[in-house]
């Protein structure tokens, strides 16, 4: 049987006739989009070097991973909703709402007095953050056909490079010299600029509207299931034994939540994650590959500063600077893969090779996590970053190219959803390894001990395996010819 909205959604797509945009107009819109994406991009790089300081000052290292995972989990659930809301109300208005909510959440984060309240404030911030990057990428898909999209990679490359250069150094410096809360206060002027620039630049956007039902029930079940899995990973083997009643109880509750979520996705008239999109092999393989890759990469970006501070003896400011090679090399990889994608039909080979290279570069750190020179470690992290840099743009363009126009917003949100879900799982797994050190039951500065050498050894091995698995999934993704303007995609 068809859902109540299925018939009308099949042919009720409404559009505002798209005036043909000149290259100058596209460039102007792209500039506005990059400004809108910048606060969200900066937030992913600035917090890592500040995390050890936050844990010490709030006296709660045990719950430190929650300030990352709470953001990732809520933004993961919010992202598909933004895709559908933008189809209903337009991309521009929803992007403005996302910027405003992100700013409000940033204020709550800066004022948080405890780790628990900070984690909750980060969840509020994520309600806005879930729309920043996915909506901007959807708008790019609206105005630039897949065949031409790699040429505009320079805009996103400049934005990510800037955030990658500023974020780690700024996060470490502010935590060292000022206060960790300043990393959230600086979002306010950034969001103000983004709001007014986006409002003016995006008024010429074409609109592709269609009716949607919003699956708030599915979003709630997704968050519930994810939180329960995170609790299981956080408690198992650290606070409680894996076979203890609390861990087994949370595990059972997580399985029930996952079963309910699966039922919801199969029976809802318009589910949070459309199963018809997941049946598209390009969407499924590309999304899975980017989820695995980003799980490792985001996990490394969050916990490598702890590696620098505890094993290599760097300060927060120094660890922020030392993190730059891991964060900035990805831009080089993205530009290289973008150029290859624009000129070669076998465009997935480059990111596959990059993932294998990234995994191989983590293996020396598994065999010798301490004793290496800082220069050697930085070279290895640079190669890791370059290797994984092309995965996100190649998979994004491939998936956008594989779906019809009316699914572009939902499909782009789905990419970001799978990316964030992978990142949340990666941070949870890495956090479990870090918190499960020999300093059992300790919090604050006392929890940072020499046992991190053994823990980071396994983090680097897990990262290498994650990259290899991502490469194998990407190998199964179909390489479809990229559509040009006028071919039905734009």
What residues contact 91, with CB distance under 8 A and at least 6 apart? 135, 138, 139, 142, 202, 205, 207, 409
Which residues, listed in sequence order, are joined to residue 240 by a DSSP beta bridge? Answer: 236
| Per-residue confidence (pLDDT) for residue 167, from 0 to 100 | 78
- Give yes or no for a contact between 73 and 113, defined as CB atoms under 8 angstroms apart: no
The CA distance from 178 to 258, in Å, is 43
Residues of the chain with pLDDT under 70: 1-21, 62, 146-147, 149-154, 157, 201, 203-212, 234, 236-239, 342, 406, 409, 435-451, 483-490
| Per-residue confidence (pLDDT) for residue 441, from 0 to 100 | 37
| Per-residue confidence (pLDDT) for residue 153, from 0 to 100 | 64
Q: Which pair of structure tokens corresponds to residue 416? A: 């970001």
Q: Which pair of structure tokens corresponds to residue 197? A: 């620039």
Residue 362 to residues 263, 379, 390, 402, 453, Cα–Cα distance (Å): 39, 11, 18, 33, 15
pTM tops 0.75, yes or no: no
- Looking from the CA of 355 toward its CB, the CA atoms found within 13 Å total 28
The CA distance from 406 to 209, in Å, is 8
The closest of 392, 377, 410, 382 to 470, measured between CA atoms, is: 392
| Per-residue confidence (pLDDT) for residue 207, from 0 to 100 | 58
Interval 112-147: pLDDT, tens:
888 889 989 998 998 888 888 778 877 877 777 766
Chain-centroid distance, C-alpha 174: 23
| Per-residue confidence (pLDDT) for residue 237, from 0 to 100 | 63
The CA distance from 443 to 115, in Å, is 12
| Per-residue confidence (pLDDT) for residue 445, from 0 to 100 | 35
End-to-end CA distance of the chain: 31
């Amino acid at each position: 049987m068809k859902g109540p909205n299925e018939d009308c959604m099949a042919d009720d797509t409404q559009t505002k006739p798209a005036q043909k945009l000149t290259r100058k107009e596209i460039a102007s819109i792209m500039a506005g989009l990059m400004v809108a994406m910048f606060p969200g991009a900066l937030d992913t790089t600035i917090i890592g070097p500040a995390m050890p300081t936050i844990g010490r000052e709030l006296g709660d290292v045990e719950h430190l991973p929650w300030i990352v995972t709470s953001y990732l989990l809520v933004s993961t659930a919010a992202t598909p909703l933004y895709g559908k809301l933008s189809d209903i109300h337009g991309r521009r208005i929803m992007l403005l709402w996302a910027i405003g909510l992100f700013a409000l959440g940033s204020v709550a984060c800066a004022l948080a007095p405890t780790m628990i309240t900070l984690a909750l404030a980060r969840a509020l911030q994520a309600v806005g953050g879930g729309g920043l990057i996915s909506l901007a990428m959807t708008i790019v898909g609206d105005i630039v056909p897949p065949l031409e999209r790699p040429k505009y990679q320079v805009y996103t490359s400049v934005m990510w490079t800037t955030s990658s250069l500023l974020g780690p150094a700024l996060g470490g410096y502010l935590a060292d010299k000022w206060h960790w809360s300043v990393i959230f206060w600086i979002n306010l002027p950034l969001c103000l600029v983004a709001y007014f620039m986006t409002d003016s630049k995006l008024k010429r956007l074409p609109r592709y509207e269609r009716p949607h039902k919003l699956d708030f029930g599915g979003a709630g079940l997704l968050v519930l299931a994810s939180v329960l899995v995170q609790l299981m990973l956080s408690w198992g083997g650290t606070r409680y034994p894996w076979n203890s009643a609390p861990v087994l109880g949370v595990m059972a509750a997580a399985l029930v939540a996952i079963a309910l979520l699966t039922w919801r996705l199969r029976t809802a008239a318009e589910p949070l994650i459309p199963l018809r999109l997941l049946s598209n092999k390009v969407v499924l393989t590309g999304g899975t590959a980017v989820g695995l890759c980003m799980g490792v990469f985001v996990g490394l970006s969050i916990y490598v500063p702890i590696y620098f501070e505890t094993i290599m003896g760097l300060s927060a400011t120094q660890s922020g600077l030392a993190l730059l090679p891991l964060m900035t090399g990805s831009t080089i990889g993205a530009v290289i893969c973008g150029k290859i994608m624009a000129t070669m039909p076998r465009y997935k080979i480059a990111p596959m090779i990059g993932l294998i290279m990234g995994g191989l570069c983590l293996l020396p750190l598994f065999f010798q996590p301490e004793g290496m020179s800082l220069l050697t470690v930085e070279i290895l992290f640079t190669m890791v970053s370059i290797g994984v840099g092309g995965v996100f743009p190649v998979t994004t363009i491939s998936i956008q190219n594989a779906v019809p126009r009316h699914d572009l917003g939902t499909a782009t949100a789905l990419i970001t959803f799978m990316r964030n879900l992978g990142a949340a799982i990666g941070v949870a797994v890495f956090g479990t390894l870090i918190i499960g050190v020999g300093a059992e039951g300790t919090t604050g500065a006392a929890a940072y001990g020499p046992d991190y050498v053994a823990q980071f050894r396994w983090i680097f091995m897990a990262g290498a395996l994650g990259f290899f698995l991502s490469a194998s999934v990407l190998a199964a993704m179909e390489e479809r010819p990229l559509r040009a303007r006028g071919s039905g995609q734009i």
